[in-house]
Homo-oligomer: A and B are copies of this chain.
Amino acid sequence: MVNMEKTTEQMILETARNHFVQYGYGAARMQEIADDAGINKAMLHYYFRSKENLYHEIVIRTLDYLLPRLFKAFKQEGLLFERIENIIDTYIETLIEQPDIPFFVMSELSQKRERFIEELKKRSKHFPPVQSFLAQMAQEMQAGKIKQINPIHLFLNILSMTVFPFIVKPVFCTLFEFSDTAFEQLMLERKPIIMEFIKSSIELK
């Protein structure tokens, strides 16, 4: 069954990821993951040795997929506002596709913070583009093209308005009685709104 390997392994990874995200590492059950993946529990150990290992594998794969994608946006050279627009687009699209990402990251941060930060540092090659993005902001301020503001704050503002709604989605949707599709619609609406918001707050009058 040489070619079912991938499918079984893939199946395990997907199912396990859902369980880890939903219940957290400690509350996720190997038996339930196996049941849900339609396989025997021993298979989990056959493919991944232990729960800890399976989890780690998922973290690695998620980061290896996510970070290049999220940081690519920072790499694009161009006008400052083009870069900003690029970043907003990338984040919103990624988060619409994978709405469980914030929960995954938060769960990591609260339960396995040290190790998660370690994994991030290992991938710090993705980080320089962020620095260059901040540098460009500083440059345009120096050149008197946009308002003076600590680039870190501007950076935080951009990411905040883009990512935060996805984090509080469940509470938001309950309190304001939004359906999943209505929420998605609202997030797509947000792209130009955030751009407009940022533009009018940093361009010189």
**Smallest CB–CB gap between A183 and chain B, Å?**
11
Asked whether, in the complex, the Cβ of A165 is within 8 Å of the Cβ of B160, the reply is yes
Taking CB atoms, residues of chain B closer than 8 Å to A160 are 160-161, 163-165
Residue interface bits A148-171, CB-to-B below 8 A is 1, else 0: 011011001101110111011011
Asked whether, in the complex, the Cβ of A176 is within 8 Å of the Cβ of B152, the reply is yes
CB of A109 closer than 8 Å to a CB of B: yes
Asked whether, in the complex, the Cβ of A107 is within 8 Å of the Cβ of B24, the reply is yes
The CA of A121 and the CA of B170, in the complex, are separated in Å by 13
Cross-chain contact of A26 among B21, B24, B150, B205 (Cβ < 8 A): B24
CB of A75 closer than 8 Å to a CB of B: no
The CA of A164 and the CA of B165, in the complex, are separated in Å by 9
Taking CB atoms, residues of chain B closer than 8 Å to A163 are 160, 164
Taking CB atoms, residues of chain B closer than 8 Å to A150 are 189, 193
Asked whether, in the complex, the Cβ of A190 is within 8 Å of the Cβ of B153, the reply is yes
The CA of A28 and the CA of B165, in the complex, are separated in Å by 29
- How many chain-A residues does the 8 Å CB contact rule pick out? 55
| Number of copies of this kind of chain in the complex | 2
Residues 94-153 (chain A) with a chain B CB within 8 angstroms: 102-103, 105-107, 109-111, 113, 117, 120-121, 124, 127, 130, 147, 149-150, 152-153
CB of A22 closer than 8 Å to a CB of B: yes
A197 in contact with B28 given A106-B103, A109-B170, A150-B189 (CB within 8 Å): no
Given A23-B110, A24-B110, A121-B174, 14 more pairs with CB closer than 8 A: A21-B110, A23-B111, A24-B111, A105-B171, A106-B167, A117-B171, A120-B171, A150-B189, A152-B176, A153-B190, A153-B193, A157-B197, A164-B167, A205-B205
Nearest 5 A/B pairs, CB to CB: A26-B27, A160-B164, A24-B24, A106-B106, A160-B160
